[in-house]
């Protein structure tokens, strides 16, 4: 007995050491995973903040264009440049449609080796189309127009809200944003099967933009829709909007793939987008919308909306009450004229909120920063002229277009309410707090809380809300006591390894089952540490570009804390000032080690830091260097204006049109840019010296290179 105990003592010591070592390893591993998770979340915040900042810029620019349309005379040059993007779907009659799009006159030559389509579409035909797209083949323009035309005819027969029944033999598959990621759609079909009468699908909007194969995704989905109109359901997303497409790549994609017939394809797609249903309901219990809801969401009103009127949900209806502009237009003008302090305080499109919020207790301000209530005794002309002066416009050009504002468009309260219903459905996001407030981060829709979810679901006898609109790291996310699901189907959305994609299978029990995936084989081979490092480098590169283009503003702001001009400021001042200038809502002190190479005693050399951002730019020979800062900071806005001015979609604009592009941007930003500086820039960008500016020359002039990414 004694000997046995003696022999067991060393064994106990060994076990104790082994357990201690295991606990030490476990503690180290947990710390390692926690650090990786913190890095991943910071990376995610960078990507998302830059994405939402771009959406805000898009809405602000469009609001400015709306201001020009509402208040400039029809003969003004600025108004003429942009008026075509505000036209309604004027080609609606079948006879006019047939004459305008006339796909029958387009010949399919013998040299064409892509897929051939026959109509009416069959499952076999769409399957061959999917195979062709898988092998990067391009569909002939004749077939594209014919397929889109058939889709347009079919969509006009659909209600605003599609109703679906979940049966036991055929569960419903629900997909979120695809954003031009064809590889994700093909992977979904591989894992889940092609759409059919036994395999119904709901695709929840945002099929286009950002990815390279948006058109292929649309043609594939429309093909299956034509074959199975009762089993394939497409909801509209906020990116099914021709104005948004100007900025985020879909317009560029279509014109690049179809140079001859691209303009007709885009026009037809604009009409199709306006006819897409706004929601889908499964078994009268599950509501599926792209963005979300608000405290004023009314499904009965949504069901009655004349949805095709809203080719762009960004354009609110014009409305006048007793000669004074409505609050909605007042706010939009204030936004258009630059009265927004910081990116995080941008007004949302609809502006309304019933939730208590101290920001809304303050008196609303007009353009000259005096309370609106004190200006009510002014005439419309006086108010307008005041706004024009503050915006930097010539007062003579700002006559109120009475015929345009009062006679051409008679908008009622019903129209305004309809528009708000659509914007909230397409643009809103959930938040953890109760209430409903304007979505100041995106600039459109609202943030709604768990109490709003409960009320809307209770009022409509629903049990679950499924929405998309937000990229999630795991492809899906529950919130609001598991009454709201966000589903996102585009994997690697920001960068390879940034997120998984997912889709939902739902049977008659209405219990969601999630299937996750990663379309990139490269990412599947990476370890967690490698994946986080890959996406972190990409995010930091994007952030450095943002810092670089704002370098002049940053230096000016830093100098406020450097009165002796020694070039040194504290890290605290660096972090607060950088946030004040960029307004991205990022944890700058946490990011400081990745962005600032060295500090001494809590101080940093900000001038040296600006030099070390490792960004190079093309050498443009111009007399005024200040125009370069404006150019880089507003690259996306300039490209959007370029594509708007290029009305024939030729990819070329003249020097005169280029000057008008800058005039629009100058008025929007309320900044002074000399005509000579613009002329010098045009000459410098015209690399081939043909007297016009090509879109490729235009984009090359703005290309920034992160040297550190190539070393």
Catalytic residue positions, numbered = 239
Q: What is the dihedral of CA 157, 412, 91, 305, to 10 degrees?
A: -20
Tokens 């809200």 found at: 161
Q: What is the secondary structure of 358-383 as a DSSP string? A: GGGTSPPB-TTSSBGGGGTTS-HHHH
CB atoms within 10 A of CB 402: 11
DSSP state of 697: H
The Cα–Cα gap between 33 and 266 comes to 47
| Residue keyed to tokens 């930003």 | 669
Residue labelled with tokens 């930097």: 392
Cβ distance 415 to 277 under 8 Å? no
3-class SS at 172? strand
Residues in the chain: 711
CB atoms within 10 A of CB 25: 10
Task: Give DSSP secondary structure letters for 75-136.
Answer: T-HHHHHHGGGG------SHHHHHHHH-GGGS---TT--S----SS--HHHHHHHHHHHHTT
Give the N- to C-terminal CA distance of the chain in Å, as an integer.
Answer: 69
> Pairing between strand 436-438 and 705-706?
unpaired
H/E element, 438 = strand 436-438
Report helix, strand or coil for 469: coil
- Cβ-contact 464, 285 below 8 angstroms: yes
- Provide φ and ψ at 178, rounded to 5°: -110, -35
* 164: its two tokens: 């679906």
Q: How many CB atoms are located within 10 Å of the residue 382 CB?
A: 11
Tell me the two tokens of residue 154. 């079919």
- Which pairing describes strands 476-479 and 484-487: parallel, antiparallel, or unpaired? antiparallel
Measured CA to CA, the distance from residue 44 to residue 46 in angstroms comes to 5
For residues 576 and 578, what is the distance between their CA atoms, to the nearest angstrom? 6
On whether the CB atoms of residues 371 and 363 are closer than 8 A, the answer is yes
Round to whole Å and give the CA distance between 75 and 273: 30
Q: Report yes or no: 448 and 483 within 8 Å, Cβ to Cβ.
A: no
Please, which residues bridge with residue 504 across strands?
174, 514
Q: Where are the beta strands (DSSP E) in 406-560?
A: 429-430, 436-438, 446-448, 464-467, 476-479, 484-487, 501-506, 512-517
β partners of residue 429: 447
Q: Which of 189, 219, 190 minimizes the C-alpha distance to 201?
A: 189
- Cβ atoms 254, 219 nearer than 8 A: no
**Residue with tokens 């009659």, as numbered in its chain:** 93
Cβ–Cβ < 8 Å for 238, 290: yes
Neighbours of 505 (CB within 10 A): 14
User: Which neighbouring-strand residues pair with 279?
Assistant: 161
CA 257 to chain centre: 22
Largest CA distance in the chain: 110
Indicate the helix (H) or strand (E) that contains 582: helix 571-582
């Amino acid at each position: 007995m004694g000997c046995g105990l003696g022999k067991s003592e060393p064994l106990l010591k060994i076990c104790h050491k082994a357990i201690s070592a295991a606990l030490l390893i476990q503690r180290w591993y947990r710390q390692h995973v926690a650090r990786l998770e913190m890095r991943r979340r910071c990376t995610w915040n960078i990507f998302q903040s830059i994405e939402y900042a771009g959406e805000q810029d898009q809405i602000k620019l469009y609001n400015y264009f709306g201001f020009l349309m509402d208040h400039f005379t029809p003969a003004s040059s600025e108004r003429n440049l942009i008026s075509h993007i505000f036209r309604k779907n004027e080609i609606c009659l079948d006879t006019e449609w047939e004459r305008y799009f006339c796909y029958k006159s387009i010949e399919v030559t013998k040299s064409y080796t892509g897929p051939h389509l026959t109509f009416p579409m069959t499952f076999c035909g769409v399957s061959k189309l999917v195979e062709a797209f898988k092998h990067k083949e391009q569909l002939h323009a004749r077939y594209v127009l014919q397929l889109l035309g058939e889709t347009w005819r079919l969509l006009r027969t659909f209600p605003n809200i599609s109703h679906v029944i979940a049966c036991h033999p055929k569960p419903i598959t629900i997909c979120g944003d695809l954003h031009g990621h064809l590889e994700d759609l093909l992977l979904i079909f591989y894992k889940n099967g092609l759409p059919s009468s036994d395999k119904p699908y709901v695709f929840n909007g945002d099929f286009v933009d950002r990815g390279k194969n948006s058109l292929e995704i649309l043609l594939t989905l429309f093909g299956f829709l034509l074959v199975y109109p009762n089993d394939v359901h497409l909801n509209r997303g906020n990116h099914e909007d021709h104005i948004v497409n100007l900025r985020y790549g879909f317009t560029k994609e279509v014109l690049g793939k179809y140079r001859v017939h691209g303009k007709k394809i885009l026009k037809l797609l604009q009409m199709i987008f306006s006819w897409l249903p706004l929601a889908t309901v499964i078994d009268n219990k599950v509501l599926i919308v792209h963005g979300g809801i608000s405290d004023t969401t009314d499904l009965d009103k949504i069901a009655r909306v004349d949805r095709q009127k809203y080719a762009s949900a960004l354009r609110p209806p014009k409305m006048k009450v007793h000669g004074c502009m409505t609050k909605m237009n007042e706010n939009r003008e204030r936004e258009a004229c630059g009265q927004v302090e910081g990116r995080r305080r941008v007004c949302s499109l609809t502006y309304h909120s019933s939730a208590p919020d101290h920001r809304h207790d303050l008196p609303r301000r007009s353009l000259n920063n005096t309370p609106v209530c004190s200006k009510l005794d002014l005439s419309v002309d006086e108010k307008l002229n005041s706004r024009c002066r503050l915006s930097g416009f010539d007062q003579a050009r700002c006559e109120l277009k009475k015929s345009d504002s009062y006679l051409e468009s008679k908008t009622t309260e019903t129209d305004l309410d309809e528009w708000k219903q659509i914007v909230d459905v397409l643009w809103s996001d959930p938040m953890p707090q109760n209430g409903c407030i304007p979505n100041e981060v995106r600039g459109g829709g609202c943030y709604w809380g768990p109490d709003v979810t409960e009320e809307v679901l209770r009022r409509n006898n629903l049990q679950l809300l499924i929405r998309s609109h937000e990229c999630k790291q795991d492809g899906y996310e529950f919130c609001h006591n598991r009454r709201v699901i966000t589903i996102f189907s585009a994997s690697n959305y920001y960068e390879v390894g940034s997120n998984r994609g997912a889709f939902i299978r739902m049977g008659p029990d209405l219990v969601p089952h999630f299937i996750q995936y990663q379309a990139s084989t490269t990412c599947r081979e990476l370890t967690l540490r490698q994946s986080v490092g890959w996406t972190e480098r990409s995010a930091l590169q994007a952030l450095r570009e943002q810092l670089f283009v704002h370098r002049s503003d940053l230096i000016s702001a830093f100098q406020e804390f450097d009165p002796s001009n020694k070039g040194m400021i504290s890290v605290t001042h660096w972090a607060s000032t950088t946030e004040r200038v960029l307004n991205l809502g990022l944890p700058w002190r946490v990011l400081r080690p990745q962005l600032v190479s060295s500090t001494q005693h809590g101080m940093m050399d900000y001038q040296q830091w600006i030099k070390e951002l490792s960004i190079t730019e093309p050498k443009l020979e111009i007399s005024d260097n200040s125009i370069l800062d404006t150019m880089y900071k507003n690259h996306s806005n300039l490209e959007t204006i370029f594509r708007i001015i290029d009305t024939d979609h030729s990819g070329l604009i003249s020097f005169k049109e280029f000057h008008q592009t800058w005039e629009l941007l100058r008025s929007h930003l309320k900044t002074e840019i000399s005509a000579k500086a613009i002329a010098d820039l045009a000459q410098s960008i015209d690399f081939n010296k043909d007297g016009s500016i090509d879109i490729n020359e235009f984009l090359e002039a703005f290309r920034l290179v992160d040297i550190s990414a190539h070393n």
